[in-house]
């Protein structure tokens, strides 16, 4: 749960920075916090959903990257519907923001920490031992 919350907050902060760098003009600090929490939550929620699909090996990395690119494209390019108080820049700036957030979110979602404190890629299965043949 701690990793989920960490991804949520960190990706949200990156999303707010990308929106600001793209030229979005919003209300006060509450606008930026809520926008960051909204985008950060959806980016953090993608990983558990993709893991439930049960992709194997390297396919999980591509499925995660594709789903995050699609999600951020929808969130950033459709932000005029869920950020009505904001003055949004052109689509090119929003698209670059979506790409940056997707890359950061993907990089944060491809690793996990085991109980012993070691970091592994998401396709690592430490508990799986080689098959034994039955007589």
Domain boundaries, the chain: 2-121
pLDDT of residue 28: 76
Residues 92 and 94: their CA atoms lie apart, in Å, by 5
Residue 87 near residue 95 (C-beta atoms within 8 A): no
The pLDDT averaged over each successive group of 10 residues in the chain (135 residues) is 79 84 76 83 86 79 88 83 70 84 86 70 57 55
Buried b (16+ CB within 10 A) or exposed e, 36-67: bebbbebbbebbeebeeeebeeeebbebbbeb
Q: Among 103, 41, 25, 107, which Cα is nearest to 75's?
A: 41
pLDDT of residue 118: 72
Residues 125 and 89: their CA atoms lie apart, in Å, by 44
Q: Which residue shows structure tokens 């990089």? A: 107
pLDDT of residue 70: 93
pLDDT of residue 127: 58
């Amino acid at each position: 749960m701690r990793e989920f919350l960490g991804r949520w907050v960190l990706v949200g902060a990156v999303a707010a920075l990308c929106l600001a760098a793209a030229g979005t003009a919003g209300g006060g600090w509450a606008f930026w916090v809520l926008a960051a929490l909204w985008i950060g939550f959806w980016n953090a929620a993608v990983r558990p959903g993709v893991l439930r699909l049960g992709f194997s090996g390297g396919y999980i990395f591509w499925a995660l990257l594709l789903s995050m690119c699609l999600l951020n494209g929808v969130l950033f390019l459709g932000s005029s519907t869920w950020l009505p108080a904001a003055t949004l820049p052109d689509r090119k700036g929003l698209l670059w923001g979506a790409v940056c957030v997707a890359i950061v979110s993907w990089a944060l979602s491809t690793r996990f920490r085991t109980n012993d404190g070691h970091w592994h890629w998401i396709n690592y299965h430490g508990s799986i031992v080689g098959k034994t043949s039955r007589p």
